[in-house]
Every structure is written in C-alpha cells, then in structure tokens.
C-alpha cells in the first residue's frame, strides 16, 4: 500500500493574535487521496451542470411571456401588457445574474478538473487545495481549535488558510496579510534549516527504510520506533537527528523513508556497526540500505539527543519520527 504525506504549518490564535506552533505532517493512503480527487472532480462537474441548467431555465422563463403573447396568442393584435413586461424583466435580470456567475466560475472548475489527476497524488495541491485529512481524524483532534496551512502554499508566497473564510473587513484583511508574511518567513527559515540538515559529509549517516515494510500509515512514527529499538538514547548522545521522505520518493521512483544522523565521526562509526548487525532492522531497510555521506536528502530536523532526551528545535512541534523514538525510549526506562 502506497502512502502520501503532506506537511502543514500549525497555528493557534489567542485574543486575535496568531502564534506559529510548528510544522506538522499528515500521512494518508494513496487510495484515499484518489477517492478524494475523484469526489472533487464529480462535485465540480455537478456544479457546472447545475449552474448551466439554472441559467438556461431562467432564460426560458424570461422568454415564455414574450413568446406566449406575441406568437402563441389568437389575438389579431398581440401586445405586451405591463404585467408581462415586469415578469419578463424580472426573469431576465435573474437569468443575467445566473449566467454571469456561471461563466465566471466555469474556468476555475475546468482548471480543477483538468489538474485533478487521480493517478498522480503528488498533484493534490493543485487539484484539492482545501484537503487536509481524509481518514486520520484521531490524529488531528488535538488541533481542532487551530488552523493548518499547507507548507507548499507558504513556500510559494501565498499561504492557503484551511477551514477559514477570506476576511472581508479591512482591519481583518490587514491582520491576515501580516499573518501571511509571518508564515512565508517561517517557511523560508524552515527551508534554510532543511538545507543545513542535508549538507553531505563524512559525519553524516543515512538509514533508508522501506515504507511498505514499515507497514504503518504513520510510517515516520514507525521508523522512529524501529531505530529506537536498536539504539538507546545513551548510544545517540550528542547526535542530531533528521528525517523525511527521500528525494527518490518525492520524485516517484522509490518508496522509502530516510533517517539522517550527524555528529562525532567515532560515535557514528559505533552506531553504524550496531545498525548493520541488527537483523530486525535489516528486514525493513530499502535497497539503499545504510550509508555515510552521500548527496544529501530533503530532511527535516527532528532534534538533538542531550542527556538522554531528544530536544526538538525551538518553535517546532515534535515530528512523527521523534515521537516514535521517544515512545520506545520512555518504555525502556520504566
């Protein structure tokens, strides 16, 4: 079963002030994404049909009094009375409004249908920008009072606020513009942090895990658990951890999750030896396996292990991988 992961910036509001909670990830099955896109396409097609039908119906109603009076009447001297004229004008005005609304909405609906390829879930942002979670409701109950903004929309400089209407009041619009600026700046800073995390070198250890073999919809969490079963917090002291889908996975040529470890070379040597000798871990590795250095991967910083604890970056919520590590380490210390 293939999975698709989207990243969101979680924000909270207190007294009309926005606070950025941090980056969050949503993992859904590819089939759920496909069903959502197909449903969205069907909805847009229905809207196009109903809008066109309504416009045509109103024009017909506007034309009936005129046609009936001028062409269908048996009177030798047909003429339009005042009531007929009023009725015709009213229906014509409604028909004009319905036609304008239909024609204005038509291009947007056509773009959505054209870009909504159900066999290419990587195009989800273009096909369904308002989609957040399909079957992961329990995972997001803690954020029910917060907003989620797609990271990709912030990186493009145009944050899409999910679950909220665009403000119409001038003051509210000014506040929203300020919020959008902060989100764009946060996304840019996050990109710089990722770039630093992907710098290749001799002190970087990459573990490639097969997503299908992890057998979990939240595969980042399962990956963290798998690593923590091999390495204790003491083994990882002073090591910086980052994780995410590999570049090959994002390109659609693989289905693997990467955990990057950076730190002292001698410590990474010991860690690499422990990982390579673990038979359970070997069963869930992808074909890329475990390697040092390399060309780097688009990973997100999970934190640094200090005094037996994983300290995640300031202003960033705990990632799925970090949560998996912490859970296993916590159980092992009881």
Q: What is the pLDDT of residue 26?
A: 65
193-237 pLDDT, tens digit per residue, is: 665 555 555 578 999 999 999 988 889 999 999 999 999 999 998
Tokens of 324: 């998996």
For residues 189 and 249, membership in a common domain is answered with no
What average pLDDT score do residues 255-277 get?
A: 90
In this predicted structure, the answer to whether residue 332 has a pLDDT above a threshold of 60 is yes
Q: What is the pLDDT of residue 192?
A: 66
**Is the distance from CB of 317 to CB of 24 less than 8 angstroms?**
yes
For residues 44 and 159, membership in a common domain is answered with yes
Tokens of 333: 């210390």
Residue 193 exposed, middle or buried by CB count within 10 Å (0-12, 13-18, 19+): middle
Query: Which among 197, 221, 246 is the end of a domain?
Result: 197
What contacts 274, CB < 8 A, 6 or more positions away?
A: 230, 231, 235
The H or E element spanning position 46 is helix 30-70
Domain of 281?
A: 204-332
In this predicted structure, the answer to whether residue 136 has a pLDDT above a threshold of 50 is no
CA 298 – CA 278 distance, rounded (Å) = 26
Cβ atoms within 10 Å of 167's Cβ, excluding its own: 14
Tell me which residue of 307, 276, 270, 309 sits closest to 291, measured CA to CA: 276
Query: Which among 167, 197, 227 is the end of a domain?
Result: 197
Query: Which among 171, 197, 223 is the end of a domain?
Result: 197
- Work out the mean pLDDT of the chain and round it to a whole number: 78
Number of domains in the chain: 2
* Model confidence, pTM: 0.44
Q: What is the pLDDT of residue 141?
A: 41
Which of these ranges, 76-80, 197-201, 269-273, has the smallest mean pLDDT?
197-201
For residues 187 and 160, membership in a common domain is answered with yes
Which residue stretches of 145-218 are H helix?
151-155, 170-197, 211-214
For residues 126 and 260, membership in a common domain is answered with no
pLDDT band at residue 99, thresholds of 50, 70 and 90?
A: very high
Q: What is the pLDDT of residue 165?
A: 63
% of the chain beyond a pLDDT of 90: 23
pLDDT band at residue 162, thresholds of 50, 70 and 90?
A: low
**Is the distance from CB of 240 to CB of 262 less than 8 angstroms?**
yes
For residues 36 and 157, membership in a common domain is answered with yes
The H or E element spanning position 159 is none
């Amino acid at each position: 079963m293939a999975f698709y992961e989207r990243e969101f910036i979680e924000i909270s509001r207190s007294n009309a002030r926005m606070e950025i909670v941090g980056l969050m990830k949503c993992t859904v099955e590819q089939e759920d994404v496909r069903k959502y896109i197909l449903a969205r396409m069907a909805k847009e097609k229905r809207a196009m049909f109903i809008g066109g039908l309504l416009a045509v119906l109103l024009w017909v109603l506007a034309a009936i009094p005129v046609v009936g009076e001028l062409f269908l009447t048996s009177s030798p001297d047909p003429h339009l009375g005042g009531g007929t004229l009023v009725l015709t004008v009213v229906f014509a005005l409604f028909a004009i409004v319905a036609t304008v609304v239909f024609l204005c909405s038509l291009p947007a609906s056509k773009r959505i249908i054209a870009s909504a390829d159900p066999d290419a879930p990587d195009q989800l942002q273009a096909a369904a920008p308002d989609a957040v979670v399909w079957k992961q409701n329990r995972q997001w109950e803690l954020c029910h009072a917060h907003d989620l903004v797609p990271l990709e929309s912030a990186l493009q400089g145009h944050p899409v606020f999910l679950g909220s209407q665009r403000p119409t009041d001038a003051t509210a619009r000014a506040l929203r513009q300020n919020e959008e600026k902060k989100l764009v700046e946060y996304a840019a800073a996050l990109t710089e942090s990722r770039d630093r995390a992907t710098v290749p070198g001799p002190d970087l250890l990459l573990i490639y895990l097969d997503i299908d073999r992890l057998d979990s919809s939240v595969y980042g969490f399962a990956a963290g658990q798998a690593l923590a079963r091999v390495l204790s917090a003491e083994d990882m002291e002073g090591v910086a951890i980052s994780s995410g889908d590999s570049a090959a996975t994002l390109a659609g040529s693989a289905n693997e999750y990467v955990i990057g470890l950076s730190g002292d070379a001698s410590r990474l040597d010991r860690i690499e030896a422990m990982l390579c000798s673990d038979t359970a871990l070997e069963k869930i590795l992808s074909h890329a396996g475990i390697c040092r250095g390399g060309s780097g991967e688009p990973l997100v910083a999970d934190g640094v292990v200090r005094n037996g604890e994983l300290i995640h970056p300031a202003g960033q919520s705990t990632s799925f991988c970090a949560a998996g590590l912490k859970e296993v380490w916590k159980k092992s210390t009881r």
